[in-house]
Amino acid sequence: MIKQFLAGLLVLIFATSIASAETFDAIKSDYLLLRNTDTEVTRTAEWQATANRFEQYAQKDLKKPHAASALYHAALIYSELFRKLETKFFLTRSLELFESVPRDYPGHELADDALVRLGNLQLFDKKDKKAARRSYQEVVYAYPDSDMFLVAKEKLNLLEHGKLPSRRIETKEKQKGIPLIVIDPGHGGEDTGAVGGDKLMEKDVVLDIGLRLSKLLEQDPSYQVRMTRRSDVFIPLKQRTEIANDFEADLFVSLHINASKSKSVTGIETYYLDNTNEQGSQKLAERENQFYASQGDGGDLNFILSDLIQSAKLDDSIALANQIQTELIKHMKTQWGKTVDLGVKRAPFYVLVGAHMPCVLVELYFINNRNDEKKLANSEFRQDLAEALYKGVARFIQTHKPS
């Protein structure tokens, strides 16, 4: 452990010398790549170096636009390192940085997230219930309109009743003969996905649509449903299909919001896993895959094996994609008028790699199109998207029995 720590310090010294010339986006891109390719936090020196890069970026000018975000991400890394190495320094530093975000940047979009993370560390790692309660209460009183308000309120409620909050992990066994659908809201946590001009985040939109779709499926006894995430958490790409495989799912539907260099582009498109020479599909896959690379973890081999597995499911994946696309276009045209049908396409999305069942990735409109962003922020619009997705899944299952 000491050797690991010393090795990390050497990397930190090097990182410090180059941090001043780095952009926040470049550091965050490397961080998300690390999170996707080292889910067990084995390359601890790289994690330490990345945390140091975030800190150096922020400390050079604490008033720069991304300074608070940089400190927040450094705190996240230190908390992961503490869980891996159990070195007290990492816990202390994580607590200090999480505390600094709401203190030095009150009202920042990550202030409420930092307070909840701070409370969790105080509760589970420091075993300090009073401090944790204060952190959760600050979210409730200072950030009543934030996405962490209900999370903090729930944890306070559980604390008051003497029960420690815990992560919800869906472990219900699959019922034989009843189709099980896994819904995968893309991105999450520190991976915001695409962001609109009015700061609407892809991760929030697809989570809400996914929860609405889950509710529709749960209300129908003909289906079982699971989700890769039910809250704003980061799930590595590789783990998403692993979750579906563990559940022995019959279908896997990954939800995303599109983005384009042109702010006038609009429409819906649905993808299945396959290689393609089509430039637009390749670029979209590159954007969705940008925080994942093989990095020596067998990624290329996994892709080849996945292609073999999916070849047996390809016809069903194409049929599922067509059914979902058809219902989305039909329903949204009926409810909201003109809807551009961008069609069913193929692309090599990593999030679909390794799936043992028919799987698709749906891109629902364009978040950087002002009209689309305004609609995507609308609760009724999201509900209609969920209902259209439900119809697409239901129509497919009517003609394809679960294995």
In a domain, 132, yes or no: yes
- Based on the domain organization, do 343 and 235 belong to the same domain? yes
Residue 39 belongs to domain with CATH number: 1.25.40.10
Return phi, psi of residue 268, to 5°.
-125, 140
Judge whether 168 lies within some domain. Answer: no
195 and 156 within one domain: no
Check whether residue 332 and residue 208 sit in a common domain: yes
Residue 220's domain spans which residues? 180-399
Query: Which long-range contacts (C-beta less than 8 Å, at least 24 apart) are formed by 26-29?
Result: 27/53, 27/54, 27/57, 27/70, 27/73, 28/69, 28/73, 28/190, 29/290, 29/291
Q: What is the pTM of this model?
A: 0.82
The confidence band for 305, taking pLDDT boundaries of 50, 70 and 90, is: very low
Clarify whether residues 146 and 211 are in a common domain. Answer: no
Assigned domain for 10 exists: yes
| The last residue of a domain, from among 107, 132, 160 | 160
CA distances from 226 to 123, 172, 250, 320, 397 (A): 28, 9, 11, 18, 16
Q: How far apart are CA 199 and CA 341, in angstroms?
A: 26
Regarding whether 305 and 245 lie in a shared domain, the answer is: yes
The enclosing domain of 201 has a CATH number of 3.40.630.40
Strand partners, 251: 181
Residue 4 has pLDDT above 60, yes or no: no
| 167 domain-assigned | no
Domain boundary among 129, 160, 191: 160
* Percentage with pLDDT > 70 across the chain: 82
Query: Is 166 a domain residue?
Result: no
pLDDT band for position 168 (50/70/90)?
Answer: very low
- Do 301 and 42 touch, CB atoms closer than 8 A? no
pLDDT, the chain, mean: 87
Confidence of residue 70 (pLDDT cuts 50, 70, 90): very high
Provide the token pair at 318. 């194409």
pLDDT number for residue 192: 92
Q: Domain total for the chain?
A: 2
* 146 φψ region: left (φ > 0), alpha (ψ -120 to 50), beta (else): beta
pLDDT at 83: 94
Task: Report the pLDDT value the prediction gives residue 352, as an integer from 0 to 100.
Answer: 82
Mean pLDDT calculated for residue range 300-304:
48
